[in-house]
Chain A
Amino acid sequence: NAGVTQTPKFQVLKTGQSMTLQCAQDMNHEYMSWYRQDPGMGLRLIHYSVGAGITDQGEVPNGYNVSRSTTEDFPLRLLSAAPSQTSVYFCASSYGQYSNQPQHFGDGTRLSIL
């Protein structure tokens, strides 16, 4: 089992560029989410999905879009990159919403915006 796979692992962008961070899971999990990790702030929720075709905003959604066309994939799009979006991005998945099961995390994408 691969678990949660994120690509790319590292990326450098210029201000104003757009890109898509990929996330795929092979555990048939319904709930998927994107977090960003910034020093001293823990992880904060960007967007989440409770199933294919259903997405919603988290705590810090501005500047990001998501879609969920399949159970397996949950890409995160940066529309016009800004230096404030320099961060480490983690995708996570778990069984169902409001579940007592742990979320499984990918290894992250380290993104720098110049």
Chain B
Amino acid sequence: AQSVAQPEDQVNVAEGNPLTVKCTYSVSGNPYLFWYVQYPNRGLQFLLKYITGDNLVKGSYGFEAEFNKSQTSFHLKKPSALVSDSALYFCAVRDLYNQGGKLIFGQGTELSVKP
């Protein structure tokens, strides 16, 4: 079965410091991987995706993610965190075999950036 895991429920970072939100996946074949961010009382906003090609993917708001096939990881990173980055982050993989390509989500990681 395909799955996504986010091992940290919460990540705390000081403003200006680099941040990493971890994600590991288990899929058959090549994965379509996504990161979404959710602000309070809002829907999920797309940040970036990995389909194929360069292992370092750049996305919105200065975020990037590193795809590592050998470690089956897709960690989200940002060189310098902002207080406004505080939100709930979801890693997801698209199921390429079932239910029209549903997204399989991790449980989410709450990012808190303190001034």
Contact residues of A with B, CB < 8 Å?
4, 6, 31, 33, 35, 40-45, 48-50, 56, 58-59, 90, 92, 94, 97-100, 102-108, 110
Do B100 and A31 touch (CB < 8 A)? yes
Q: A98–B107 contact, CB under 8 A?
A: no
- Interface residues in B27-44 by Cβ distance below 8 A to A read 32, 34, 36, 41-44
Q: Which residues of chain B are near A48, meaning CB under 8 Å? A: 99-100, 102
Chain B residues touching A, majority SS? loop
| The residue from A6, A43, A106, A110 contacting B90, defined by CB atoms under 8 A apart | A43
Cα A91 to Cα B67 in complex, Å, equals 28
SS of A interface (majority): strand
> Which residue from chain A places its CB closest to the CB of B47 in the assembled complex?
A102
- Whether B94 and A42, one on each chain, are in contact in the complex, defined by CB atoms closer than 8 angstroms, is no
Residues of B contacting A98 with CB < 8 Å? Answer: 94, 96, 100-101
Q: Point out the residue from A97, A104, A108 that lies within 8 Å of B100, measured CB to CB.
A: A97
Contacts of B45 in A (CB 8 A): 105
Q: A50-B100, A103-B103 are in contact. Are A42 and B43 (CB under 8 A)?
A: no
Partner of A107, one of B9, B42, B103: B42
Kindly state the separation between the CA atoms of A56 and B100 in the bound complex, as whole angstroms.
Answer: 9
* Besides A31-B100, A42-B105, 6 other A-B contacts (C-beta < 8 A): A4-B43, A45-B103, A58-B102, A59-B102, A94-B101, A108-B41
Inter-subunit contact A45/B32 (CB<8 Å): no
Task: State which of A45, A50, A102 has its C-beta within 8 Å of the C-beta of B46.
Answer: A102
Q: Bin chain B's interface residue count.
A: 20 to 34
Q: Among A4, A58, A97, A98, which residue has the most Cβ atoms of chain B within 10 A?
A: A98
Contact with A along B87-103 (1 / 0, CB 8 A): 00010001010011111
Given contacts A105-B43, A106-B43, A107-B42, contact A99 B101 (CB under 8 A): yes
Q: How far is the CB of B28 from chain A (nearest CB, A)?
A: 13
In contact, A42 and B106 (Cβ under 8 angstroms) = yes
Q: Would you call B51 an interface residue if the criterion is a C-beta within 8 Å of the partner chain's C-beta atoms?
A: yes
Asked if B49 CB lies within 8 Å of chain A CBs, one says: yes
